[in-house]
Amino acid sequence: AHLDRIAEVDGRVNAFLHVDAESALAQARAVDERIAAGETLGPLAGVPIAHKDVFTTTGMPTTAGSKILEGWQPPYDATVTRRLREAGLVILGKTNLDEFAMGSSTENSAYGPTHNPWDLSRIPGGSSGGSSAAVSAYEAPLSTGTDTGGSIRQPAAVTGIVGMKPTYGGSSRYGLIAFASSLDTPGPFARNVLDAALLHEAFSGHDPLDSTSIDAPVPQVVEAALHADVAGMRVGVVKEFGGEGYQPGVLARFNEAVELLESLGAKVVEVSCPTFTYALPAYYLIAPSECSSNLARFDAMRYGLRVGDDGTRSAEEVMALTRAAGFGPEVKRRIMLGTYALSSGYYDAYYGQAQKVRTLIMRDFEAAFQQVDVLVSPTTPTTAFPIGERADDPMAMYLADLCTIPTNLAGNAAISVPCGLADEDGLPVGLQVMAPVLADDRCYRVGAAVE
């Protein structure tokens, strides 16, 4: 049924970069055989899933949305991929994304933009916009994403679905093509909170192949999603996220969600986190710095594209030609920014300062979580914007992640759950619920109460 739905709508949505119907049906039959052979599989066995094309997959190409990886066939599965397979999930195909997960609209993909199923002239969010659109358009019940600065929560919010960024280190980065290694976090998309929790549980947990993976039990997320009880919980509304620059319809739905939590017995207070207003500039130094280092591996020798290798040019010339042809404008902008911020003489002024701001943001979270169990805010300042509107204005594009970025810098958990439609445009609005490190279950508990 999902393959039929993909055939019907994906020409207009462009959520998928690669669909393999034959492989999907073979995977489904293999699950049947495992069950027939007496194997006990988890609750998601046989459920189809769309997989962000930034996780390596054997038997399917992996492009990270970039021309530089066109035609690359990974020789191994990412840990997230392997765990999906072990749990019996059926991978329908790979979903579109901003090149190397850099963007908030999926317009930076080398393979064309993805369209928001609610209004095809609008963006589905990014960078995991193919994954959010696939679930929102009923092409798949579940999908995977990665969240470096908001790339799960923001697309979930603007397509009216649930998206969760687990605690950093709670889900494995092994086989996830790196953007900013100290921030990248795999997480689930689903149409409801319980489904997201089941997927979260299926692929999370300690992985010895990822040196930053946390060796602790996975938080009880499914249990929390099933017991949507917020009575007595202390909920903090982040004072800095609201007011000027926020769409009135977004704030109206957010305020109603807060009132709903209060009516369910939560104690709501306002909490000030003054350093959160510096999160965006700090992120746009730290993330490009890490990307400039991570993307050095695309040297025309090891993977995918190779340009100008005609026997007359040096390896260095081939590398330069390949990177010039293979990377898109946003990726180049970030490599230049990051290289500059890390260069001697500028390191202390830019990268060093940004890391200090990062510490202050962590302290603001710590202080806030002394007072409250969770923090809430709108997930995004506006609903889905028109395709093209911010494409030539990186600063306007970066604002889409204003509310999501502090969580990435601090490494804690946050979810986006739908909380209604904005009056102005009838488009979905997301409520963001942020919880302390390894308290991912609180996001699901509050999220389930609101949905």
Measured between alpha carbons, how far is 29 from 11 in angstroms, rounded to an integer?
Answer: 27
150 binds ligand GLN (CB under 6 A): yes
Among 52, 94, 131, 136, which one carries the catalytic annotation? 52
| Cβ proximity to ligand GLN, 103 vs 160, nearer residue | 103
Q: Which residues between 204 and 243 bind ligand GLN (CB under 6 A)?
A: none
Cβ at position 338, least distance to ligand GLN in Å = 12
187 binds ligand GLN (CB under 6 A): no
Taking CB under 6 A as the criterion, the residue among 56, 104, 109, 294 binding ligand GLN is 104
| Cβ proximity to ligand GLN, 322 vs 404, nearer residue | 404
Q: Which stretch binds ligand GLN (CB under 6 A): 88-96, 97-105, 351-359, 430-438?
A: 97-105
293 part of the active site: no
| Cβ proximity to ligand GLN, 98 vs 210, nearer residue | 98
Region of 177 on the Ramachandran plot (φ > 0 left; ψ -120 to 50 alpha; else beta): beta
407 binds ligand GLN (CB under 6 A): no
Task: List beta partners, residue 421.
Answer: 428
| Cβ proximity to ligand GLN, 103 vs 205, nearer residue | 103
Among 66, 136, 151, 172, which one carries the catalytic annotation? 151
Helix axes 279-294, 353-371, angle to 10 degrees: 130
Is residue 301 within 8 Å of residue 68, measured between CB atoms?
A: no
279 binds ligand GLN (CB under 6 A): no
Scanning the structure block, which residue is given the tokens 């007595």?
A: 232
Measured between alpha carbons, how far is 39 from 429 in angstroms, rounded to an integer?
Answer: 41
101 binds ligand GLN (CB under 6 A): yes
Cβ at position 261, least distance to ligand GLN in Å = 26
Non-local (6+) Cβ contacts of 254 within 8 A are 242, 376, 377, 378, 419, 429, 431
Is residue 18 within 8 Å of residue 94, measured between CB atoms?
A: yes
Non-local (6+) Cβ contacts of 144 within 8 A are 49, 50, 51, 52, 55, 80, 84, 128, 131, 186, 187, 188, 189, 199, 203
23 part of the active site: no
Measured between alpha carbons, how far is 170 from 411 in angstroms, rounded to an integer?
Answer: 10
Beta strands in 12-89 (DSSP E): 16-19, 48-52
314 part of the active site: no
Taking CB under 6 A as the criterion, the residue among 114, 144, 151, 294 binding ligand GLN is 151
Cβ at position 184, least distance to ligand GLN in Å = 7
Q: Which stretch binds ligand GLN (CB under 6 A): 8-16, 110-118, 147-155, 299-307?
A: 147-155
The answer to whether the Cα torsion of 193, 128, 380, 384 is positive or negative is: negative
305 binds ligand GLN (CB under 6 A): no
Measured between alpha carbons, how far is 181 from 268 in angstroms, rounded to an integer?
Answer: 35
| Cβ proximity to ligand GLN, 21 vs 399, nearer residue | 399
Taking CB under 6 A as the criterion, the residue among 102, 140, 224, 438 binding ligand GLN is 102
373 binds ligand GLN (CB under 6 A): no
| Cβ proximity to ligand GLN, 106 vs 322, nearer residue | 106
| Cβ proximity to ligand GLN, 330 vs 373, nearer residue | 330
Rg from Cα positions in the chain = 21
Mark residues 40-79: x for contact with ligand GLN by CB under 6 A, - for none.
Answer: ----------------------------------------
Write out the two tokens for 11.
């020409």
Mark residues 77-96: x for contact with ligand GLN by CB under 6 A, - for none.
Answer: --------------------
Cα–Cα separations (whole angstroms), residue 295 to 16, 66, 78, 183 = 24, 12, 18, 15
| Cβ proximity to ligand GLN, 107 vs 201, nearer residue | 107
Write out the two tokens for 15.
């959520």
| Active centre residues (catalytic) | 52, 127, 151
- Contacts to ligand GLN by CB under 6 A: 101-104, 127, 146-151, 179, 287, 401
